[in-house]
Amino acid sequence: IFLFDDEHDGIEFPVNERLHIINEFAYFISDLQAHVNLDEITQLFICWKRESEFDELLYLTSKINLLYPHIEVFVRIFDEELKDLVKKYNAKPFSTSKKAFSMLQQNVTPDSAIAPKNEI
């Protein structure tokens, strides 16, 4: 699952039947459940950008960690000082830049919906 606010800095994602992009602000687990079955989800990428959304990001990350510990959570952060807070909930932080996202793609498992596809 990818969660976006309305600012995504041109990060593009290949069409993929295993990829669910939710372009709304999901405050609660129930907001996600309206779109997907969380028991079937393996990875969640929270790509919110605004500093004002960080409290909600932490809340949602903590609930995912508590209720769905099988979901690997990646969190887009805007400030390196917030890494430890995010890691407290077993989430993996990544930077806000497109280049950093490309680097993240190199560090996910090959079966990830964001793993780069090998060009022939």
What pLDDT is stored for residue 69 in this prediction?
A: 96
Q: Percentage of the chain with pLDDT > 70?
A: 76
In order of their start, the domains of the chain are 2-107 (3.40.50.720)
E strands of 48-98, at which residues?
72-76, 92-94
C-alpha 67/C-alpha 98 separation (Å) is 30
Give per-residue pLDDT as tens, 13-60.
Answer: 566 677 777 767 778 899 888 888 899 888 888 877 777 778 888 899
What pLDDT is stored for residue 101 in this prediction?
A: 66
82 pLDDT tier (thresholds 50, 70, 90): confident
What pLDDT is stored for residue 3 in this prediction?
A: 58
Does this model's pTM top 0.85? My answer is no
What pLDDT is stored for residue 6 in this prediction?
A: 46
Number of CB atoms found within 10 A of residue 103's CB? 12
Calculate the average pLDDT of the chain. 77
